[in-house]
């Protein structure tokens, strides 16, 4: 059953809004750079642009390359956090914090200074701790994580991109260093190689904007899943996850991003950003060129225009 929207959505012509935004951001291509440290991502066309919106009253809107799968990268950290909070509840926060990092997402400096406790679950160190939690509680964590993504998106064809996963493994030396550092501080329970394998695969999950807008809709709808039916995520976890997305979801650019966009979001270096407007909608945008921090340059602009034109935000 759909929840009452934050504000009536019937008066918004989403198709027209998305079209206007697509035209407006055409001049912004070329101002960012496609991620190059993972070779499999470097080959993606920088001109791609997909937008998908899913509303709590069951409607969907698409623009451009919204159905084309891409590597979701760090967006996957939201899904693993949902699972880890199910397993450990508030106990998870003894192993990872909830504060913005103020440092690059793959930094080792802060981790060393704070004795192996990552600042939040969305930087790489924190995500590795969360991944370790999944493996600690579930011997079939990789398969069950994939099934969760398929269930939430309503798409049984969602899969891991094996080429991206291999590329992540072959070039993931800094993540390996972070994992071993966490292990040295007793903040990983499982074998380092097992943790890295699941982490590289979850980041290599291939989903489209439409898949992701559907998958994140429960976070806009108090946990209610419109595809599987019922509440897959309890309201307490919805509140927690949305709060951490708002404060930590776009690396060390959260302040400026909140100022410009005004909704909880999670980005990935594959060029995707997913946003949530509670009791209203979820939105995903994909554009591979990144800004200096690692967020989609055009995608950020798309979301800024979207919340401005629709007058929808959490503020």
Give catalytic residue positions. 74, 77, 199, 251, 269
User: Which tokens hold the place of 72?
Assistant: 């979701």
SS3 194: helix
Give Dmax (Cα) for the chain: 56
**CA-to-CA dists, residue 206 to 202, 285, 308, angstroms:** 9, 14, 30
Closest CA to 22 of 59, 56, 52, 44: 52
What is the Cα–Cα distance from 130 to 126, expressed in whole angstroms?
6
Compute the distance between CA of residue 192 and CA of residue 174 in angstroms, rounded to an integer: 13
What is 10-77 written as a DSSP string? TT--HHHHHHHHHHHGGGGTTSSEE--SSHHHHTS-TT--EEEEEETTS-EEEEESTTS-EE-GGGHH
Side-by-side strand order, sheet with 50-55: 60-64, 50-55, 281-286, 272-277, 265-267
The span from the CA of 78 to the CA of 125, in Å, is: 14
User: Using an 8 Å Cβ cutoff, are 70 and 44 in contact?
Assistant: yes
Asked whether 52 and 14 are in contact (CB, 8 A), the reply is: no
Helix H or strand E encompassing 241? helix 235-248
């Amino acid at each position: 059953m759909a929840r009452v929207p934050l504000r009536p959505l019937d008066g918004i012509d989403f198709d027209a809004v998305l079209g206007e935004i697509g035209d407006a951001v055409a001049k912004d291509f070329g101002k960012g750079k496609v991620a190059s440290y993972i070779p499999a991502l470097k080959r993606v066309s920088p001109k791609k642009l997909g937008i998908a919106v899913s509303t709590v009253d069951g409607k969907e809107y698409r623009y451009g390359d919204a159905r084309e799968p891409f590597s979701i990268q760090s967006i996957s950290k939201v899904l693993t956090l949902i699972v880890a909070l199910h397993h450990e509840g508030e106990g998870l926060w003894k192993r990872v914090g909830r504060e913005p990092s103020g440092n690059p997402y793959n930094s080792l400096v802060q981790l060393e200074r704070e004795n192996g406790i990552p600042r939040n679950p969305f930087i790489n160190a924190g995500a590795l701790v969360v991944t370790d939690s999944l493996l600690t509680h579930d011997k079939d964590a990789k398969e069950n994580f994939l099934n969760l993504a398929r269930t939430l998106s309503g798409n049984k064809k969602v899969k891991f991109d094996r080429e991206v996963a291999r590329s992540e493994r072959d070039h993931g030396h800094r993540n390996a260093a972070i994992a071993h550092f966490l292990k040295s501080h007793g903040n990983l329970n499982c074998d380092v190689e097992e943790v890295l394998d699941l982490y590289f695969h979850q980041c290599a999950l291939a989903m489209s904007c439409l898949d992701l807008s559907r998958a994140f809709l429960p976070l806009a709808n108090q946990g209610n899943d419109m595809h599987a039916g019922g509440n897959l995520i309890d309201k307490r976890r919805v509140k927690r996850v949305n709060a951490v997305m708002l404060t930590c979801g776009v690396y060390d650019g959260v302040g400026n991003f909140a100022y410009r966009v005004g909704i909880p979001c999670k980005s990935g270096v594959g060029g995707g950003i997913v946003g949530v407007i509670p009791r209203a909608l979820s939105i995903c945008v994909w554009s591979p060129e990144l800004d200096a921090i690692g967020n989609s340059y055009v995608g950020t602009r798309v979301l800024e225009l979207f919340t401005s034109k629709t007058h929808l935000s959490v503020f």
